[in-house]
Structure 1
Amino acid sequence: MDKRLLDILVCPVTKAPLIYQKKNQELICKASRLAYPIREGIPVMLPEQARKLTLEEVEQIK
């Protein structure tokens, strides 16, 4: 994930910053508890395409 792109992307729901999770190829928003997928190198920033995170998953994110 390009650092410059990550710096300008925000959660479309909360406008909070995103955390890149390389292992799952996702962009994580702690505020909305959503994980946006990255498909073929392109972030899919649609809330309806995002995976809902459990509270435990959110607490484990650094």
Structure 2
Amino acid sequence: MALEAGLLEILACPACHSPLDDRSAADSPELVCTGDGCGLAYPVRDGIPVLLVDEARRPA
């Protein structure tokens, strides 16, 4: 389930305040921070972004 474009325009990474990019796969939807030094990936559960730094996946 893709997020609405209007929602993506207002969401920002809680850690660095950079925009988020919807890089959802069918099995693991997530929003990825576009910030240079951040890159955290936040899960989307039941169509709701979980924007908690503790829940984010760290970049490899």
Distance 2:31 2:10 in 1: 12
Superposition TM-score, scaled by structure 1 size: 0.81
Superposition TM-score, scaled by structure 2 size: 0.83
Q: Higher strand share goes to which structure? A: 1
If asked which structure has higher relative contact order (CA below 8 Å, sep 6+), I would say: 2
Distance 1:33 1:15 in 2: 11
Residues 1:40 and 2:26 are matched in the alignment: no
Q: Which residue of 2 aligns with 1:60?
A: none
Match of 2:11 among 9, 28, 36: 9
**Count of paired positions:** 54
Query: Following superposition, which runs of at least 4 residues in structure 1 exceed 4 angstroms of deviation?
Result: none
Distance 1:30 1:2 in 2: 18
Q: Higher helix share goes to which structure? A: 1
Match of 1:49 among 10, 35, 55: 55
CA drift of 1:18 comes to 0.5
Q: Which residue of 2 aligns with 1:18?
A: 20
RMSD of the alignment, in Å?
A: 0.9
Identify unmatched segments of 5+ residues in structure 2: none
CA drift of 1:30 comes to 3.4
The share of aligned pairs that are identical, in percent, is 43
